[in-house]
Amino acid sequence: MTGSASPQLLRPRALRPGDLVVIASLSGPLPAIYERNVEQTVVVLERMGFRVRRAPLLEVGRHRWWSAAAPAEIAAEFNGLLRDPEVRAIVASDGGQTAFGYLDLIAFEAVKADPKPILGYSDISLLHLVLYARTGLVGFHADMAVPGFGGHWQAAPATRQAELEKLYSRLLTDTEAIGPLPASSSWECWRAGRVEGRLIGGVINRIALVQATRFAVPLEWFDGAVLFWEEIGGLASHVWTYLQVMRHCGILDRISGMVVGVPRDIAGLDSPEASPTLSEIVLDVLGDRDIPVLGNVDFGHAGPNLPMPVGLRVGLDAQQRTLSLLEPAVRPYATTPLPYLV
């Protein structure tokens, strides 16, 4: 699919009550302290009406270095889930630092034959970008088990939990467009404007790094896109540098808008006398590129994630602080598993 200026969007089949969702270790290990998060995730998914199973590598204490297992082992389990017709969705247990190690082992043909929602963020956003680039698969940049469903969701007010549960259920089962995502008071207009375009993004370093590989998203696919990104850790200067990388490789000249998630643990942003704010960093790199920028949107490492489906068309109005999903993330259950043209 690489090289096409108009990607075919591959939507997974809509989930139905009783469908099997598997929680899998696609990157990092499961420390004992996070076992409770996985157990809570099972409760959340079952409350949505799904059957839930844990993949074998998701086992407390199992690890190789910083990973749940060797990259080839993780790829083998992942490919098995992709090929298993009973498995209708895959939820990552956590992020980490492993996905780059098995991009060349992914069974892309299995994704094309039976596309499934794969949920996760952080390192999992790399999988979304690569699967989108190679197959057109809609990437469910959304919460996962740790700390997402099993942590951040549990700490949120009951009304917010109910709102998120309804939103995620619609995302996975509804073949109608969701429309406006539920906004919060944290959203900020950093540069006004109104656009429509395909969502492409993830954690900022994965966006920048994947473009240096043969699994890069074709540059022309960023034409008119709405770029979304977030970051955890590191320095404010690192964010500036990653944005400069995207400027140099041409992404910032092609996109029509930008959505920035809530930052977490970025050194320098909490000392305004020594460092610019995140909005100042973004606008500095954008320069005279007059595109709308919506900041501090609640997705990423800082708390419960609003879903940001990679590849879907969205409507962004930064001044009104709205972000709308203009098409469904899943296709009707009865249709054949063929790509949608967009």
Give me the residue label for tokens 């429509």.
Answer: 196
122, 125, 256, 275: which is the annotated catalytic residue? Answer: 122
Q: 1 to each of 17, 170, 218, 243, how far by Cα in Å? A: 33, 29, 9, 26
128, 141, 152, 301: which is the annotated catalytic residue? Answer: 301
230 is known as an active-site residue: yes
188 is known as an active-site residue: no
d(CA 172, CA 116): 10
d(CA 204, CA 295): 14
230, 231, 256, 275: which is the annotated catalytic residue? Answer: 230
Backbone angles phi, psi at 247, to 5 degrees: -65, -45
Per-position DSSP letters for 281-336, written without gaps between them? HHHHHHTT----EEEEES-STTSSPPPEEET-EEEEETTTTEEEE-S-SSB-TTS-
Peptide bond into 147 cis (omega under 30): yes
Backbone Cα Rg of the chain: 19
301 is known as an active-site residue: yes
Please give the positions annotated as active site.
122, 230, 301
